[in-house]
Structure 1
Amino acid sequence: MGLLDRLSVLLGLKKKEVHVLCLGLDNSGKTTIINKLKPSNAQSQNILPTIGFSIEKFKSSSLSFTVFDMSGQGRYRNLWEHYYKEGQAIIFVVDSSDRLRMVVAKEELDTLLNHPDIKHRRIPILFFANKMDLRDAVTSVKVSQLLCLENIKDKPWHICASDAIKGEGLQEGVDWLQDLSTATT
């Protein structure tokens, strides 16, 4: 970012753009979360499973987000790594009610964290422990323990309990990303 761009961001004249990768297993709620973050007049009424990936844009008070919504289906997860270099932040969504697939989510997270394009970068990771409204959901603290998030020492990370359908917990996560991104401008 050039000096004039930085100055315009600092003065609030131009929004800083952040490229975010939204990752997680299929049916964890990635697309629903992204949809809920868009202005209400731009939200879709019917959410379909993502095939491959889609790109969405939305704005917060001081940032413009370009989100790469990556399919979490097993046959598409190998596409994730092709976008790691472009990502400036990661949203990793976990279905907190699906204890059986929590192990798979941890394996995918470990693969992500050990990839050469991610391993040596201080890329922020926002975790959404989604579907907290469901009866079998575990707490965000338990999700953090199951994913061994305490072992992530070289990257800023934050976990939020969320209910994507109601939009609960989403603003907390966006605020954290925004605070982190504006602090590094």
Structure 2
Amino acid sequence: MGALISLLMSKFGLLNKDLRVVMIGLDAAGKTTILYKLKLGETVTTIPTIGFNVETVTINKLNLTIWDIGGQDVIRPLWRHYFNSVKALIFVIDSSDRSPERIEKARTELNWLLTEEELRDTVFLVFANKQDLPNAMSVQEVTRVLKLENLRGRKWFVQGTCATSGYGLLDGFQKKLCGNLPAQQLILETIGNHLNKANANTTIDQQNSEVYIDLYKPTDKQYRLIVASLLEWIVEDLQPLNVVNTPTFINIRQSIFYAM
């Protein structure tokens, strides 16, 4: 499936698209250190973030625009203003801080984030940071204290990290984040844009035809079938598809639909 998704994303120009990622968590969790370790490959001296830092980092041929948002008490209510068009959310926790008060505060913020409608379809990744420090909680402990195992209907991942050494960062981004980005959603959004443009160039007779209705007023399942059709035509032409439902063509559409 990965090769197929890469092919489709390349076909529709998504490999060079900027994807918005928000990285949040309580203050002093190590968010800014993570951001600049990814961007510069080195550990930088940081100060508490008042507002945000933003950088674009290329990982797995995807341009990730990462927003590092401050985590102080007065800033956390402003987090929701950064959620628009977010494809992935990273919640960073200081795994060496076993203070019941801080753990409860992190859990409360996390539970609130999971109720936000704008984040409903995002990839959700927890960085259990500062794994190099004595008494750091393991990934299993972080999962337990945050009560992640109680989540239903959400995909979530926990990655142990050390921002200063870089341990776990690429694994977290490459395997857990990039590997689970909603590629289908990105592809379908792009297809939808092309179909809308094609609609403007069709006649009433074409729009009333069975083939047109089947392809241009689709359900979610039919959208996926359109993917296969678009692989056979130059998308930039923006012309309605002249579909011939031969057994071979149907098999191609079905195989891609089930692969996705």
Match of 1:27 in 2: 28
Match of 1:3 in 2: none
Match of 1:106 in 2: 107
Match of 2:162 in 1: 163
Gaps of 5+ in 1: 1-5
Give 2:17's aligned amino acid: K
Secondary structure in 1 aligned to 2:64?
A: strand
Q: Superposed, which structure 2 residues align to 1:1-185 within 5 Å?
A: 9-11=9-11, 14-40=15-41, 45-100=44-99, 101-118=102-119, 121-175=120-174, 176-181=176-181, 183-184=183-184, 185=187
C-alpha contact 2:129 2:163 (8 A) present in aligned 1: yes
Gaps of 5+ in 2: 1-5, 188-260
Deviates more, 1:130-139 or 1:145-154: 145-154
Secondary structure in 2 aligned to 1:104?
A: helix
Bigger share in strand: 1
Deviation at 1:62, TM superposition (A): 1.6
What is the aligned-residue identity percentage? 38
Deviates more, 1:13-22 or 1:108-117: 13-22
Mark the CA change 1:8 to 1:39 in structure 2 (over 3 Å): closer, same or farther. farther
Mark the CA change 1:8 to 1:17 in structure 2 (over 3 Å): closer, same or farther. farther
Deviation at 1:115, TM superposition (A): 2.4
Q: How many Å separate the matches in 2 of 1:86 and 1:53?
A: 17
Corresponding pairs, count: 176
Deviation at 1:157, TM superposition (A): 1.3
C-alpha contact 1:21 1:91 (8 A) present in aligned 2: yes
C-alpha contact 1:31 1:47 (8 A) present in aligned 2: yes
Q: Normalising to structure 2: TM-score of the pair?
A: 0.63
Q: How many Å separate the matches in 2 of 1:182 and 1:77?
A: 26
C-alpha contact 1:12 1:62 (8 A) present in aligned 2: no
C-alpha contact 2:32 2:53 (8 A) present in aligned 1: no
Higher RCO, 1 vs 2 (CA within 8 Å, ≥6 residues apart) = 1
C-alpha contact 2:51 2:75 (8 A) present in aligned 1: yes
RMSD of aligned residue pairs (Cα, Å): 2.1
C-alpha contact 1:57 1:65 (8 A) present in aligned 2: yes
Give 1:104's aligned amino acid: K
Q: Deviations over 1:3-28 (max 9, x none)?
A: xxx98842596423210110100000
Mark the CA change 1:143 to 1:44 in structure 2 (over 3 Å): closer, same or farther. closer
Give 1:15's aligned amino acid: N
Deviation at 1:97, TM superposition (A): 0.8
Bigger share in helix: 2
C-alpha contact 1:9 1:16 (8 A) present in aligned 2: no
Q: How many Å separate the matches in 1 of 2:110 and 2:182?
A: 26
Who wins on radius of gyration, i.e. which is larger? 2
C-alpha contact 2:90 2:124 (8 A) present in aligned 1: yes
